[in-house]
Each structure stands twice: as structure tokens, then as C-alpha cells.
Amino acid sequence: PPPPREPSGEAAFARRIDPQQEPGLSPEQRRLMARVELAQRQRALQRRLRSRNALLAGVVGAVVVGI
């Protein structure tokens, strides 16, 4: 049988949970989830900074070539 679906149409495993509101989580599970989310945010920030730095290098290079 197909997996159970939430009323919004998303599968239950894809539902984002709030660790503070979830009653069945231990303190260790809450800490693990916080660490994982922090690592994901840092990776996203690194990707953004890398693309911004590449764009800035291109602009500086164009200015230097123009001079």
C-alpha cells in the first residue's frame, strides 16, 4: 500500500518537525537535530559566499582590464 499522506499532500517522512514541539524526542535527539541544521545552514552560506566571491572577482577583473 502507498505510504500515508498528510492532508497537505506531503508524505509524512518529508514533513518538517519542530524539535521543541515534538513530544517523543530525547534531549540528545534535539541536540543532534540542532547540530545537523546548523551544519546545513553553514554549507548553504559557504555556497552563497563562494558564488559572491567569484562574481566580485569577475567584476574586479573587468575593471582592471578596462583600465
Q: Which three cell numbers stand for residue 3?
A: 505510504
The average pLDDT across 34-61 equals 91
Question: DSSP for 12-58?
Answer: GGG----TTT-TT--HHHHHHHHHHHHHHHHHHHHHHHHHHHHHHHH
pLDDT 10s digits, 10-25: 566 667 777 777 778 8
CA distance linking residue 15 with residue 21, whole number of Å = 14
Q: Is the pLDDT of residue 58 over 70?
A: yes
Higher pLDDT, 23 or 29: 29
